[in-house]
Structure 1
Amino acid sequence: MALTLGRINVDEPLYDLSTFAGRFRYFAWMTDPRTVIVSNDRLLQAKTLVESYRVGKEPETTTQEQVKYAMKLYSSAFHPDTGELQNVTGRMSFQVPGGMLITGGMLAFYRTVPAVVLWQFINQSFNAIVNYTNRNANSPTTVTQLGVAYVSATTSALVAALGCKSYWSKRASPLFQRFVPFAAVAAANFVNIPLMRQNEIINGVEVKDENGNIVGHSRLAAIKGITQVVVSRITMAAPGMLILPFIMQRLEKIPAYRRIRWIDAPFQTAMVGCFLLFMVPTACAIFPQNCSLKTSTIKLLEADQYAEIESKTKGRVPQRVYFNKGL
């Protein structure tokens, strides 16, 4: 083999995920939007290289740089639970290009009801795909549940957007009316993500011991993970949607800018992209991907699930259990 010393452990991240800085570097690496344009054939080749390297059967000419890049492609495009190739729209690496186009549209076209309805519909369709793609795949969701989640989230977003627009158009300044899209996005996230992942809440998610052995299921773990994902998603959108309105309010007072108002949408879209380049890895890094929960909490609030853990571990219950919270 070409690499016999200092081999990379392809099952472990290249960065220290126990710290925020390490997680930020990892997610900046993993959500690199440039990976979106990589062909499926190249992604499958990367997966093959990772799998071959794991068992020491990679080509003799393989370098560590090639292995690291293959790990990057694999992490960006394949589901961590199933190893399946994710659809492009649902990947976290698509958050920057997809999010900036949709958020830019919501911020630029917020003045009329039809525009609000159209962009909220587009945004919730995008969110539904992202939430489904990045769910904990060990808890399958039915088509009916997906439909209910999608309709409920879209409805909540429209109610929030149109309600705020109606209320603020009469009582708030033009500046505050620009925050209508963020109110809708925040409201919809509180509905869309829990509904899209409701099976995890109903049946619990798989929890493991520190050695990666499955020891049971927990509904509390699902609730904790989903709550953290909701916070992360709102944090991801917040800076662009809350800071940009102040910038636009100032710009629109400049006579030279008013003469080129056609640039509104492209400019806001580009600005949102700049925010997301930083905020996507920041929001993903707030909480550890491999989340943990004390078994004493499970014992107190989920006696049935604790009994399952106790049975599978033959009474040697670990102090903490671990699970993938999703993204």
Structure 2
Amino acid sequence: MDANLRFWREEGQTFFQRFLLWADALDPLLLLKPADEIRRNRLLLESSGKTEKPLQNDQTKQAFLLSLSSVHPDTDKIIPIMFRPPAFMPICLPLVVASSLQLQAKQAFFCQFAFHMYNTGFALVHGNGTAKCEDYILQQKQIFCGLGAISYAAVVGALPLIFMNRYTLKSPLAELVVKKLLPAPLLGLMSAFTVAVVRSPEFENGIEVMDRNGKIVGVSQKAGEKAVKETALSRAVLFGTTFSLPSVLTSFVGRAKFAKTPRTLALVRLLVLTSVLTGMLPASLSMFSQCGEIKRADLEPEIQASTEETVLFYNKGI
């Protein structure tokens, strides 16, 4: 079993433990570490084998944090810098802010397209690497499905603005629904949709499941389906909450005297949105462990027959 997965299994058993670990692993300063240092830390983890109590040793803890933030646990390759977890917040924040603005329909479509393009690319890079090889990533089916999902999600996300531009909303209730209530669930649902589409080969072809010693027991479609569902759900919670909560909080702040001007209100909304995204990112990643668990009874019959373990493990992805 990869050192990253062993670490999550030993040190990330509860939501609170995972939240604290992700809060450290999402430090943007980790993006400044060179590739040679990342490789040295990986060798340190592989040679030391100190996975029982890694947090008691500061050097080992830093090595693990760098590994968690920079290396794919299945392929053992260094992740491109713009798709590493610490880069997610700096890149997504302006995309989320742009997507939340009441722009023209064409501008809204472009912002949504850029947002879902990055979100989909991030999900693809951090998916389970069981079936990944040079040809797998470049499969025409996955490319076309991904682009189709991104385009569809962008159109659906821009629908409220298209509706507003086409029809005059005379009812305050209709304006409230279209302007305030629809955008957040649409962004959350479409974020989950693009993740599910781009990682669909995982539940179509299956992913590897391992015993507690890291021995590969088999390839399971049911484990792949569970991994994709958990990732899609966490992404929906992340962006659905990030998009909706600032609107609610800003509406209360807007009643204060100091926030009566549009510029002040926009600044307050930006600060609230940044705060919510900063807190929700580690929270959403902590909903499910990176080292996922699945009961042997829930797997395919051939896998059940090949092991006596009651619980098996897999890489959920991010």
Are 2:100 and 1:102 equivalent residues in the alignment?
A: no
* Runs (5+) with no aligned partner, structure 2: 51-55
Kindly tell me: are residues 80 and 121 of structure 1, through their superposed partners in 2, closer, same or farther at Cα, counting changes over 3 Å?
same
What is residue 224 of structure 1 aligned with on the other side?
226
Q: CA deviation at 1:290?
A: 1.6
* Residues 1:240 and 2:242 aligned together: yes
Amino acid at match of 2:114: I
**Residue 132 (structure 1) aligned to one of 107, 112, 124:** 124
1:325 aligns with 2:316: yes
| Structure 1 residues 293 and 308, CA gap change in structure 2 (3 angstroms) | closer
Mapped to 1, the partners of 2:150 and 2:226 lie a distance apart of 24
The alpha-carbon distance between structure 1 residues 64 and 290, as it changes in their structure 2 partners (threshold 3 A), is: closer
Q: 1:34: how far off? A: 2.8
Supply the distance in 1 between the matched residues of 2:314 and 2:10 (Cα, whole angstroms): 19
Q: Identity over the aligned pairs, expressed in percent?
A: 20
Kindly tell me: are residues 175 and 184 of structure 1, through their superposed partners in 2, closer, same or farther at Cα, counting changes over 3 Å? closer
Please say if 1:164 is aligned against 2:160.
yes
Q: Distance in 2 between matches of 1:272 and 1:258?
A: 18
Determine if contact 1:105/1:269 at 8 Å carries over to the other structure. Answer: no
Q: Distance between the aligned counterparts of 1:319 and 1:51, measured in 2?
A: 27
The aligned residue for residue 80 of structure 2 is 87
CA 1:203–1:28 in structure 2 vs 1: closer, same or farther (change >3 Å)? same
- Aligned residue number for residue 53 of structure 2: none
Of 254-263 and 119-128, the range deviating more from structure 2: 254-263
Deviation at 1:296, TM superposition (A): 2.0
Letter paired with 1:290: C
Residues of 2 paired with 1:54 and 1:296: CA distance? 31
Aligned residues: 300
Distance 1:149 1:131, change over 3 A: farther
Decide whether aligned partners of structure 1 residues 69 and 201 sit closer, same or farther in structure 2, where only a CA change above 3 A counts. Answer: same
Rate the CA distance shift 1:132–1:191 in 2: closer, same or farther, 3 A.
Answer: same
d(CA) in 1 for partners of 2:181, 2:156: 11
Gaps of 5+ in 1: 1-8, 56-62
Q: TM-score scaled to structure 2, two decimals?
A: 0.82
Show the 5 A alignment for 1:144-163.
144-163=140-159
The reply on whether 1:32 has 2:27 as its aligned counterpart is: yes
Task: Give the conservation status (yes or no) of the 8 Å contact 1:204–1:222.
Answer: yes
Q: CA deviation at 1:136?
A: 0.3
Instruction: Say if 2:41 and 2:67, in contact at 8 Å, map to a contact too.
Output: yes
Give the superposition deviation at 1:322: 1.4
Secondary structure of the structure 1 residue equivalent to 2:218? strand
Q: Which amino acid aligns with 1:322?
A: F
Change in CA separation of 1:236 and 1:208 when aligned onto 2, cut-off 3 Å:
same
Task: Identify the match of residue 188 of structure 2 among 186, 189, 197.
Answer: 186
Which SS does the other structure have where 1:12 is aligned?
Answer: helix
Matched position secondary structure for 2:191: helix
Deviations along 1:139-160, whole A, 9 cap, x unmatched?
2234213322322222221232
Two-structure CA RMSD over aligned residues (Å): 2.9
Q: CA deviation at 1:251?
A: 5.3
User: SS at the partner of 2:127?
Assistant: coil
Tell me: CA distance 1:46–1:146, structure 2 relative to 1, closer, same or farther (3 Å): same
* Alignment check: 8 A CA contact 2:19 2:283 kept: yes
Partner of 1:207, secondary structure, is: strand
Q: How do 1:11-90 and structure 2 match up within 5 A?
A: 12-13=7-8, 16-54=11-49, 64-90=57-83
For 2:161 and 2:104, how far apart are their aligned partners in 1?
9
State the Cα distance separating 1:94 from its structure 2 match.
Answer: 1.7
> Normalising to structure 1: TM-score of the pair?
0.80
Is the contact made by 2:209 and 2:312 (CA closer than 8 Å) also made in structure 1? yes
Cα distance between partner residues in 1 of 2:257 and 2:41:
52
**Alpha carbons of 1:23 and 1:250: their partners in 2 closer, same or farther (altered >3 Å)?**
closer
Q: Greater shift after overlay, 130-139 or 193-202? A: 193-202
